[in-house]
């Protein structure tokens, strides 16, 4: 089938796996990429509107107990105390965002009770919509409690669906556990967030398999796409940085396959990715980070003009990129929410 024929079809419905793989491979050619990006943008504009969303994150709400650590990660064995999370929520409200993600490390032995306890303590202290992303650490019963507490969405991120790549880069983690958690989140009718990371070693076929696994989950509302970014001191510090083009390729196919979820520029990306992201059908970025001081010291090192940093309770750093994100999106004609 010709690329043009597939794109005519995608105006109305998702491509098949075979068609999606043909499109993903075609994006390697610049002239074909422009056609596919245009189709992805048109699907976004029609299905969810020409909007660009800003959100925030507070981290880490739980320590990471993966052993060994993921080979690319600098996450902390320590976590914020409840009082610091509450202070972070108040600071986030001052930035003007309307929803916040409480993010934490993974503990494969947990059933999520500590997350339920934290949400129960803070939910009435903020007007922000609360989302949670803290690894595959929830029993079905605790997910049902989080739903009753009004949590907007819960994350279980795979990064890669290729078992060999997962084992090589995340040797202490469990792909099976993460995949099962996505299914359970979906089954209890909670909104689901799940991340794809580009640049770990996944193939085009892996990306398409990943997207069609997610397509089976009817409550998927949020797909962040990360760009691998090497940090000094990690086992993968010499691994090549993922290109923005690879992330945009996956973004475009995600829009054509999944249609309606928010597709977010995630870790490893930043405000400079926004124009390409919007071209490829994306619609969201995290613009406010409130995190444990020096949790990831090099994460924002290339963006210092956009930083607002403050030390609070001797342990928090605030990074607010909202003004720049808003400017970059509005410059190309998008309405920014909030």
Mean pLDDT, rounded, of the chain: 93
CA 182 – CA 67 distance, rounded (Å):
22
Which are the contacts of 18, defined by CB distance < 8 A and separation ≥ 6?
none
- The model's confidence at residue 197, banded by pLDDT at 50, 70 and 90, is very high
User: For 29-57, how does the pLDDT look when each residue is reduced to its tens digit (9 = 90+)?
Assistant: 989 999 999 999 999 999 999 999 999 99
CA 262 – CA 157 distance, rounded (Å):
15
pLDDT of residue 238: 95
User: For 209-242, how does the pLDDT look when each residue is reduced to its tens digit (9 = 90+)?
Assistant: 999 999 999 999 999 999 999 988 899 999 999 9
So where are the chain's domains? 48-337
Tell me what the mean pLDDT of segment 176-197 comes to: 97
Strands 220-227, 262-265: pairing kind: parallel
User: For 86-106, how does the pLDDT look when each residue is reduced to its tens digit (9 = 90+)?
Assistant: 999 999 999 999 999 999 999
User: Is the confidence at residue 61, as pLDDT, over 70?
Assistant: yes
CA 69 – CA 67 distance, rounded (Å):
5
For 146-175, b where at least 16 C-beta lie within 10 A, e where not — what string? beeeebbbbbbbbbbbbeebbeebbeebbb
User: For 235-283, how does the pLDDT look when each residue is reduced to its tens digit (9 = 90+)?
Assistant: 999 999 999 999 999 999 999 999 999 999 999 999 999 999 999 999 9
pLDDT of residue 95: 93
- The model's confidence at residue 179, banded by pLDDT at 50, 70 and 90, is very high
Contacts 24+ apart (CB under 8 A), 334-337: 334/50, 334/51, 334/52, 334/278, 335/49, 335/50, 335/51, 335/52, 336/51, 336/52, 336/53, 336/54, 337/51, 337/52, 337/53, 337/54, 337/98
How far does CA 69 lie from the centroid of its chain? Answer: 20
Answer with the residue of higher pLDDT: 318 or 19. 19
Structure token pair of residue 107 = 């503990």
Answer with the residue of higher pLDDT: 213 or 136. 213
291: β partners: 59, 317
User: For 69-80, how does the pLDDT look when each residue is reduced to its tens digit (9 = 90+)?
Assistant: 999 988 777 899
Q: Where are the beta strands (DSSP E) in the chain?
A: 51-59, 99-103, 129-133, 153-155, 191-193, 196-198, 220-227, 262-265, 284-292, 316-320, 335-337
Structure token pair of residue 13 = 């419905």
User: For 302-318, how does the pLDDT look when each residue is reduced to its tens digit (9 = 90+)?
Assistant: 555 555 566 666 778 88
Tell me what the mean pLDDT of segment 106-114 comes to: 94
324 and 93 Cβ atoms separated by less than 8 Å? no
Q: What is the pTM of this model?
A: 0.94
User: For 149-162, how does the pLDDT look when each residue is reduced to its tens digit (9 = 90+)?
Assistant: 999 999 999 999 99
CATH code 3.20.20.70 for 48-337: yes
Which are the contacts of 53, defined by CB distance < 8 A and separation ≥ 6?
262, 264, 283, 284, 285, 336, 337
CA 103 – CA 295 distance, rounded (Å):
12
3-state secondary structure 119-158: HHHHHHHCCCEEEEECCCCCCHHHHHHHHHCCCCEEECCC
């Amino acid at each position: 089938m010709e690329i043009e024929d597939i794109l005519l079809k995608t105006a109305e419905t998702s491509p098949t796996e075979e068609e999606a793989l043909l499109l993903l491979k075609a994006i390697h050619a610049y002239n074909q990429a422009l056609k596919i990006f245009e189709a992805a943008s048109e699907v976004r504009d029609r299905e969810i509107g020409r909007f660009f969303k800003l959100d925030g994150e507070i981290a880490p709400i739980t320590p990471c107990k993966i052993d060994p650590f993921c080979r690319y990660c600098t996450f902390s064995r320590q976590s914020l105390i409840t009082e610091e999370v509450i202070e972070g929520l108040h600071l986030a409200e001052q930035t003007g965002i309307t929803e916040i993600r409480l993010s934490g490390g993974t503990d494969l032995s947990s059933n999520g009770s500590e997350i339920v306890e934290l949400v129960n303590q803070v939910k009435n202290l903020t007007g922000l919509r609360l989302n949670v992303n803290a690894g595959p650490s929830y029993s079905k019963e605790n997910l049902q409690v989080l739903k009753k507490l009004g949590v907007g969405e819960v994350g279980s991120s795979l990064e890669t669906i290729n078992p060999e790549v997962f084992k090589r880069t995340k040797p202490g983690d469990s792909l099976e556990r993460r995949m099962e958690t996505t299914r359970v989140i979906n089954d209890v009718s909670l909104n689901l967030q799940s991340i794809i990371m580009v640049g770990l070693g996944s193939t085009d076929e892996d990306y398409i398999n990943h997207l069609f696994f997610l397509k089976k989950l009817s409550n998927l509302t949020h797909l962040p796409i990360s760009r691998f970014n090497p940090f000094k001191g990690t086992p993968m510090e010499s691994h090549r940085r993922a290109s923005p083009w690879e992330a945009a390729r996956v973004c475009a196919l995600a829009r054509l396959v999944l249609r309606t979820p928010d597709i977010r520029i995630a870790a490893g990306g930043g405000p400079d990715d926004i124009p390409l992201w919007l071209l490829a059908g994306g619609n969201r970025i995290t613009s406010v980070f409130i995190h444990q001081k020096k949790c990831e010291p090099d994460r924002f090192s290339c963006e210092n003009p956009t930083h607002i940093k403050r030390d609070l309770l001797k342990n928090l750093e605030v990074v607010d990129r909202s003004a720049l994100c808003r400017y970059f999106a509005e410059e190309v004609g998008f309405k920014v929410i909030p």
